Amino acid sequence: MSVVEISGVSKRFGATTALEGIELEIGEREFVSLIGPSGCGKSTLLRIIGDLIDPSGGKIVVNGKTARQARKDRDYGIIFQDPVLYDWRTVAKNVALPLEMARWPRQKRMARVQTMLELVELTGFENHRPWQLSGGMQQRVSIARALSFDPALLLMDEPFGALDEMTRERLNMELLRIWAASGSTVVFVTHSISEAVFLSTQVVVMSPRPGRISEVIPIDLKQPRTATTREEPRFFELVTQVREALHLGHDLERAAPATSQQAGA
Amino acid sequence: MATMAAELPVERRTELIRRAAARVGTSILVLAALWGLWEGYRWLWIHEGWTWPFVVNDTTMPHLHDIFAALWGSASPGGVGPRLITVLVKGALFTAKEAAAGFAIGALGGFALGVLLAQFRLLQRGLLPWIVASQTVPILVVAPMVVVWANPKLPDSLKDWGAVALIAAFLTFFPVTVNTIRGLQSADRRALELMRSYAAGDWRILWKLRFPAALPYIFAALKISATASVVGALIGELPSSIPNGLGAQIINFSQYYTTQPRGLWATNLIAAALGISFFLIVLIAEKLVVRRAPENLV
Amino acid sequence: MSSTAPAAVQPVPRGGLGKLVGHRLIDWLPAVIVLVGIVGLWQGLIVWLDVQQFLLPKPTAIASAFWTDRQELLHAGWYTFQEALGGFALGSGTAIVVALVLARWRPLGAALMPYFIAANAIPIIAFAPITNQWFNGGLTKSSKVVIAAILCFFPVLVNTLRGLTSVRPQDLELMRSYAGGQTAIFRRVRIPNALPFMFTGLKVATVLAMIGAIVGEYFGGALNALGVLILARSRIFLFTQAWAGVFVACLFGLGLYLAVALVERVVLRWMPSTLE
* Domains detected in chain A: 2-73+196-263 (3.40.50.300)
pLDDT of residue C51: 60
Whole-angstrom CA distances from C139 to B51, C217, C233 are: 17, 9, 19
Q: Is the pLDDT of residue B293 over 60?
A: no
Q: Is the pLDDT of residue C121 over 50?
A: yes
Amino acid present at B170: F
- Decide if B276 and C121 are in contact by the 8 Å CB cutoff: yes
Peptide bond before C11: cis, by omega within 30 degrees of 0?
Answer: no
Tell me the β-bridge partners of A154.
A77, A186
Read off the pTM: 0.80
Q: Is the pLDDT of residue A254 over 70?
A: no
pLDDT band for A264, please (50, 70, 90 cuts): very low
Q: Is the pLDDT of residue A196 over 70?
A: yes
pLDDT > 70 in chain A, percent: 94
Q: What is the pLDDT of residues C202-214, one digit of tens each?
A: 988 988 898 889 8
With residue A135 as reference, give the H or E element that holds it: helix A135-147
- The domain of C42 spans 19-50
pLDDT of residue B79: 67
CATH of the domain at C101: 1.10.3720.10
- Decide if B127 and C6 are in contact by the 8 Å CB cutoff: no
Is residue C169, in this structure, part of any structural domain at all? Answer: yes
Domain boundaries, chain B: 10-45, 84-289
The residues on C that touch A, with CB distances below 8 Å, are 1-5, 168, 170-171, 173-174, 176-180, 184, 188-189, 192, 195, 270-272
Instruction: Enter the ipTM.
Output: 0.81
pLDDT band for B77, please (50, 70, 90 cuts): low
CATH of domain B84-289: 1.10.3720.10
Please compute the mean of the pLDDT values over residues A58-70 and round it to a whole number: 91
Rounded to whole angstroms, the Cα distance separating B243 from B254 reads 15
CB B91 within 8 A of CB B245: yes
pLDDT band for C50, please (50, 70, 90 cuts): low
pLDDT of residue A27: 92
Same domain as C91, residue C168: yes
DSSP A101-116: HTT--HHHHHHHHHHH
Instruction: Give the B:C interface size as CB pairs under 8 Å.
Output: 191
Is residue C7, in this structure, part of any structural domain at all? Answer: no
Q: Is the pLDDT of residue B5 over 70?
A: no
Please compute the mean of the pLDDT values over residues A97-105 and round it to a whole number: 91
Q: How many CB atoms lie within 10 A of CB A152?
A: 21
- Helix H, strand E, coil C: the string for C131-192 is HHHHCHHHCCCHHHHHHHHHHHHHHHHHHHHHHHHCCCHHHHHHHHHCCCCHHHHHHHHHHH
Tell me the β-bridge partners of A190.
A35
In C56-139, DSSP assigns E strands to none
pLDDT band for C62, please (50, 70, 90 cuts): confident
pLDDT > 90 in chain B, percent: 19
Q: Tell whether C276 is within 8 A of chain B (Cβ).
A: yes
Same domain as C91, residue C221: yes
pLDDT band for B82, please (50, 70, 90 cuts): confident
- Decide if A78 and C189 are in contact by the 8 Å CB cutoff: no
- Decide if A78 and C177 are in contact by the 8 Å CB cutoff: yes
Chains contacting C (3+ CB pairs below 8 angstroms): A, B
Same domain as C41, residue C153: no
Is residue C10, in this structure, part of any structural domain at all? Answer: no
Is residue C8, in this structure, part of any structural domain at all? Answer: no
pLDDT > 70 in chain B, percent: 93
Rounded to whole angstroms, the Cα distance separating B185 from B209 reads 10
Exposure of A196 by Cβ count < 10 A (0-12 exposed, 13-18 middle, 19+ buried)?
buried
pLDDT of residue B128: 82
pLDDT of residue C221: 80
Tell me the β-bridge partners of A212.
A207
Please compute the mean of the pLDDT values over residues C101-106 and round it to a whole number: 89
Same domain as C35, residue C88: no
Same domain as C169, residue C137: yes
- Decide if B138 and C38 are in contact by the 8 Å CB cutoff: no
pLDDT band for C233, please (50, 70, 90 cuts): confident
> 3-class SS at C11?
coil
CB C131 within 8 A of CB C140: no
CB contact residues (below 8 A), chain B span 266-285, against chain C:
267-268, 271-272, 274-276, 278-280
pLDDT of residue B298: 24
Q: How many domains does chain C have?
A: 2
Q: Is the pLDDT of residue C6 over 60?
A: no
Whole-angstrom CA distances from B185 to A240, B114, B143, B214, C78 are: 49, 11, 34, 8, 39
Same domain as C89, residue C28: no
Is residue C158, in this structure, part of any structural domain at all? Answer: yes
Q: Is the pLDDT of residue C137 over 80?
A: no
Please compute the mean of the pLDDT values over residues A121-144 and round it to a whole number: 90
CB contact residues (below 8 A), chain C span 77-96, against chain B:
none
Q: Is the pLDDT of residue A223 over 80?
A: yes
Q: Is the pLDDT of residue C17 over 70?
A: no
CA distance C3 to chain A (A): 6
Q: What mean pLDDT value characterizes chain C? A: 82
Same domain as C142, residue C179: yes
Same domain as C40, residue C90: no
Q: Is the pLDDT of residue B7 over 60?
A: no
In this complex, which of C5, C177, C192 lies closest to A71 when CB atoms are compared? C177
> 3-class SS at B42?
helix
Is residue C63, in this structure, part of any structural domain at all? Answer: no
Residue among B273, B280, B260, B204 nearest B59 (CA)? B260
Same domain as C114, residue C251: yes
Residue among A90, A65, A67, A94 nearest A79 (CA)? A94
Which of A245-254, B136-145, B242-251, C148-157 is predicted least confidently? A245-254
The residue of A87, A94, A132 whose CB has the most chain C CBs within 10 angstroms, and thus the best one to mutate to test that interface, is: A87
Q: What is the pLDDT of residues B178-208, one digit of tens each?
A: 888 888 887 777 777 777 777 777 777 777 7
Between residues C238 and A61, the one the model is more confident about: A61
pLDDT band for B3, please (50, 70, 90 cuts): very low
Q: What is the pLDDT of residues C159-179, one digit of tens each?
A: 898 889 888 888 889 999 998
**Cα A23–chain centre separation:** 17
Q: Is the pLDDT of residue A11 over 60?
A: yes
Q: What mean pLDDT value characterizes chain A? A: 88
pLDDT band for A153, please (50, 70, 90 cuts): very high
